[in-house]
Amino acid sequence: MIDFRPVLQIIGWILCLLALSMTVPAAIDAMAGSGQWMAFIASAGITLVAGLGLVLGTRTDNRKPLSIRQAYLAAGLGWLVPCLFAALPFSLSSLDLSASDAFFEATSGITTTGSTVLSGLDTLAPGLLLWRGLLQWLGGIGIIVMALAVLPVLNIGGMQMFRVEVVSARERTAPRAARIGSTLISVYVGLTALLALALWAAGMGRFDAITHAMSTIATGGFSNYDRSMAHFDSATMDLIVFVGMILGGMPFLLFFTLAQGDWRRVLRDQQVHWYLGLMALGSIAITLWLIDVRHFQPLTALRHAAFTVASVMTGTGLVTLDYSDWAGMPVAILFFLTFVGGCAGSTAAGIKVFRFQLLFANAVVQIRQLLRPHAVMVPSFNNKPIPKDVLTSVMGFIFVYALAFATLSMMLAVLGLDFVTALSASASAISNVGPGLGDLIGPGGTFAPLPDLAKILLAGGMLFGRLEMFILLVVFVPSFWRD
Amino acid sequence: MSSPPWVAGMNLWTATRNRANSRADSRGEARLIDFRPVIFVNGILLIVLAAAMAVPAAVDWLYDDKDWQVFVMAGLVTLLAGLAMVLGARPEGRPELTTRQAFLLTTSAWVFMAAFGALPFTFSALKVSYTDSFFEAMSGLTTTGSTILAGLDTMPHGILLWRAILHWLGGIGIIVMAVAILPILRIGGMQLFKMESSDKTDKVKPRTSQVASGIVMVYVVLTILCGVLLWLAGMTPFEAVCHAMATLSTGGFSTSDASAGHWNSAWIHWILTIFMAIGGATFVLFISPWRRGRWAILTDSQIRWYLHFLIFFTIVLTLWQWAVNDWSPGDALTHSAFNVVSVVTTTGFASTDYSLWGGLPQVIFFYLTFIGGCTGSTSGGVKIFRWEVLFAMAGVHLKRLLHPHGVFVIDFNRQRISDAVVDSVLGFVVMYFLTFAVFALALTMTGMDFISSITGSATALSNVGPGLGDVIGPAGNFKPVPDLAKWLLSFEMMLGRLELFTVLVLFSRSFWRG
């Protein structure tokens, strides 16, 4: 039998943290004089009581590290439970959101998806807007920590390629991991502050600058305005957010390498090459299309195309231009890029660039092998050979990804959604992008008109994608519960 | 008396090659590929094709249609080309193919056959461009069933029969290839289906000819059976023959614009359904009972998955049609079964326009396009066997997460699958979806809309036939598609039919360097 106590203790601590962060929007609302602060204080109280209850109720004396099973449970519940509590402010506030809507919005925030059921954002109380930004920002930290510390150890979907190797024998592992962790979090905080300052300098209001910076670096996509970035209509701001999104989709471990002064290794990283290369290709194709078909000025076309491609590929979902009326090629490019996603160990979601690189390397080796059946050839990534079990992990991952995408879209279609909406909503949720395609849930619409069950399914899909599938799947294996 | 130009050309080529080879030998490099056996076999295939053109010529002549001249002319051109290739490239002794030559042969054979199979369409009174003709012929030979022709109901019989014959020949070609060539070339995990009798060297020997001829017999007998049953169920003899040929080869060309929906008879639909399902099953298994003394079809895991899969989605769609669209249960079952089997076996007949069924059926039919039938059948797609391996792979990953140091193996038909096979399958599936995405993007660049491009790419790669949407859906055809897109789609059909790697390997530098 699994010992649940350490797991529940961790969740308790996370909830306490969440309760603490609820006081920030409460304070903002109280200062702005809107009556919403009551909702936040009430939610914070409930969350704190639950959190403290868990922490105190499960105190144990033994300080053993978590077993594999406990780690899975902690990772899975550590995302699910905060989503439930983070929904409280939405349902307690004067917005009168139904339970499923509030859960959808909170999950969309914490998983940094950015799909929303809210409209009329421009007149919303500042506390709620900040809360949406905060959720994404906290979710972003959670993902980076998980991608660095948890996933590689658990061997999820080929992430074992990114185990932080101990460079020299002099350094002990534990202090090093702690140092990496603290460096990354300060990089994250620093980048957010930098972005916010830049946006403020470019002319955004202070409040807008902070929430948009949080939403950008977490590749989330919640904006304070219904028209998203198009509200500001400023090329400078678009450029700042564009850079921020690209940074958010980079492997954060590289920032640590960079902090150590090893910039050559950063330049040589193949994953970053592919990531930027794909993004450039997509941007160029769409730019040309915009110039040719929509008769945009070249610079305007480049601005919107590059922003949209970066936004979709990193799974952010901020919009400078309503692309729902685009047809043909750009739609296909955006649809496929949804699946590609950012780099491993970033706040972006999707299948991740490195998995495609591993599989592509393997497929190329297969072609060569056809001609020389007896030669021994090993595919490599970043000049390191790819171990056999990593390839099966990656393929297993992608297969489950595709299966989840197909199953979710079929379930959505059963609920009455049309072909494009079902397909793109499913892709957008599992890849944590945000807006889908089509009239209903495209960049101009919201998810509010969908049936309640569809919203809950989509929220489940977001968690599933954010947790890299297998953390949730493992729990359903019977032998997980047996010894 | 000078020799004919092709013989002179061949001699020149032989001399050049010999010089290059002796140069390569002296430097210790690999030799160039000897093209002669490849050209020789292609010539023989063209002669067969020319002979096949005599059939529609005779039929047109019987029906007193002027079109018979078209076929005679196309037949003569093909025959001449074939004879020239055979005579010019006649190898000494029994031809033995190396791996490289086998790769080159499989791809070039399909290109040549399609190029000459297109002639009757170009020559005929239909006024079709060569692009369209080539598309139609490639679609026929790869048993895809996408068509650029409309007004089939009033078309001369010869052309209709020719389309069916292309399917049928393509069907034989693909089975023989899947049994005799792909396993030895180790394409996409097919080495698992290597005949016990075939040796393990790189030489492709005609050892498997016995199995192949047995399979061809089964194919012919089943076609005749299907034709007779269709005739009894109410088709005219001509329609019955055409449909039998298009069904067993899982092709999908019909003699009517409304496809199978032209006949409002549940009997005809069910006969077609059953024979399509047979066409998507592994053909070797039909002759194995005589060889091993047990009815292998019932124990084969691939066939089981295949049937379960078909039944599951038939039930889902039947329920949808019954509950949402208010069809009678009988109609819903007939049409669901027909269209599910048609898409999964990559036939592409339509008994009704299923793109009007609503959201869920559209989504399901889109995904079904990729599934495909069993290995060693006439169907296209990724194939059930590979999905089984992928499933097992995901399961192994899941188990390994809990037991990081455990050793897990993947079984198929109670046999352990080697790592090499798993790797090939993996490479195949990755390439499959990559090809799908690349071609879908390329199609959008020719100006096609999103749904047409996505489903068009999927349907060509999997050799299904119709796509979704207004233009290329079950009720439409490929006529309005831009010319460039037709060439792309033709190429993609061939890629899908030859299991990708057979063609892709020709693009690797080391293939030509040695």
Kindly identify which residue of chain A lies nearest to residue B452, measuring between CA atoms: A328
Cα separation, A205 vs B50, in Å, equals 78
CB B445 to CB A409 under 8 A? no
More confident of the two residues A59 and A449: A449
Does a structural domain hold residue A77? Answer: no
Q: Judge whether A336 lies within some domain.
A: no
How far apart are the CA of A52 and the nearest CA of chain B, in angstroms? 31
Strands A384-385 and B411-412, sheet pairing? unpaired
Contacts of B154 (CB under 8 A, 6+ apart): none
What is the reported pLDDT for B425?
Answer: 86
The answer to whether the Cβ–Cβ distance between A362 and B103 falls below 8 Å is no
Both tokens of A313, joined, read 């590929």
For the cut 60, the answer to whether the pLDDT of residue A131 exceeds it is yes
Q: Which of B100, B320, B501 sits opposite A367 (nearest CB)?
A: B501
Give the nearest chain B residue to A421 (CA atoms): B359
Say what the pLDDT of residue B7 is: 58
Q: Which of B33, B397, B446, B499 to mutate to test the interface with A (most CBs of A within 10 A)?
A: B397
Cα B176 from Cα B192, distance rounded (Å)? 16
Distance (Å) from the alpha carbon of A476 to chain B's nearest alpha carbon? 10
pLDDT tens per residue across span B231-275: 999 889 999 999 999 999 998 888 888 888 888 888 999 999 999
Give the bridge partners for B411, in sequence order. B416
pLDDT at residue number B17: 58
A393 domain-assigned: yes
Q: What is the pLDDT of residues B143-185, one digit of tens each?
A: 998 888 888 888 888 889 999 999 999 998 888 888 777 777 7
- Give the model confidence (pLDDT) of B179-216 as tens digits: 777 777 777 777 777 654 434 444 444 456 677 788 88
Q: Which of A70, A155, A309, A371 to mutate against chain B (most B CBs within 10 Å)?
A: A371
Residue A65 lies in a domain: no
Q: What is the pLDDT of residues B16-46, one digit of tens each?
A: 656 655 655 555 455 567 788 889 889 999 9
pLDDT band at residue A282 using 50, 70 and 90 as cut-offs: very high
A353 pLDDT above the threshold of 80: yes
What's the confidence (pLDDT) of residue A174? 54
Statement: residue B476 has pLDDT above 90: no
Average pLDDT over residues A333-360: 87
pLDDT of residue A171: 45
Question: Which of B450, B453, B508 to substitute to test the interface with A, most A CBs within 10 Å?
Answer: B450
Number of domain units in chain A: 1
Cα–Cα distance, B231 to B138 (Å, whole number): 28
Q: CA A393, A397, A398 angle in degrees (round to 5)?
A: 125
Contacts of A72 in chain B (CB under 8 A): 401
| Percent over 70 (pLDDT), chain B | 87
- The pair of structure tokens assigned to A359 is 């599989």
Beta-carbon separation of A329 and B511 below 8 A: no
For residue A397, is it within any domain?
yes
End-to-end Cα separation, chain A, in angstroms: 7
Cβ neighbors of B354 (< 8 A, separation 6 or more) are: B335, B339, B361, B365, B474
For the ranges A380-394, B67-81, B197-211, the maximum mean pLDDT occurs at B67-81
A-to-B residue pairs, Cβ atoms closer than 8 angstroms: 154
Of B359, B360, B505, the CB nearest to A370: B505
Q: What is the mean pLDDT of chain B?
A: 84
* Pick among A292, A392, A437, A450 to test the B interface (most B CBs inside 10 A): A392
- Residues 339-368 on A with a CB inside 8 Å of B are 359-360, 362-363, 365-368
Residues in chain B: 514
SS3 of A450-483: the string is CCHHHHHHHHHHHHHHHCCCHHHHHHCCHHHHCC
Assess whether pLDDT exceeds 50 at residue A190: yes
* pLDDT value, residue B25: 57
Closest chain B residue to A409 measured between Cα atoms?
B363
Kindly report the pTM of this predicted structure.
0.86
**CB-based contact, A472 to chain B, within 8 Å:** no
Q: Do A419 and B359 touch (CB under 8 A)?
A: yes
Q: Could you give the angle at the alpha carbon of A178 between the alpha carbons of A175 and A181, nearest 5°? A: 150
pLDDT in tens, B429-469: 888 989 999 999 999 988 888 888 988 999 999 998 888 88
| Residue spans per domain, chain B | 5-204
Q: How far is B152 from chain A (nearest CA, A)?
A: 30
How far does Cα B438 stand from its chain's mean position? 21
Average pLDDT over residues A117-136: 87
Structural domain that includes position A410: 387-481
Window 159-218 of A: residues touching B by CB (8 A cutoff) are none
- For residue B154, give the DSSP letter: G
Instruction: Look at A444 and A45; give whichever has higher pLDDT.
Output: A45
Query: Cβ separation of A413 and B505 shorter than 8 Å?
Result: no
Q: Best of B107, B401, B449 to disrupt the A interface by mutation (most A CBs within 10 Å)?
A: B401
Which tokens in the block code for residue A471?
């953390």
Q: Find residue A381's DSSP bridge partners.
A: A384
Residue type, B227: G
Beta-carbon neighbour count of residue B149 at 10 Å?
19
Q: Which residues of A touch B367 (CB under 8 A)?
A: 406, 410
On whether residue A232 sits in a domain, the answer given is no
Q: Kindly identify which residue of chain A lies nearest to residue B200, measuring between CA atoms.
A: A373
Give the model's confidence band at B277: pLDDT under 50 very low, under 70 low, under 90 confident, else very high: very high
Mean pLDDT estimate for chain A: 86
Residue A302: both structure tokens together: 């480049």
Cβ <8 Å between A329 and B441: yes
Please name the residue ranges forming H helices in A173-252: 173-201, 206-217, 235-248
Question: What residues are paired with B415 via a beta bridge?
Answer: B412
CB contact under 8 A, B393 and A392: yes
Task: Pick A409's closest partner by Cβ from B363, B398, B430.
Answer: B363
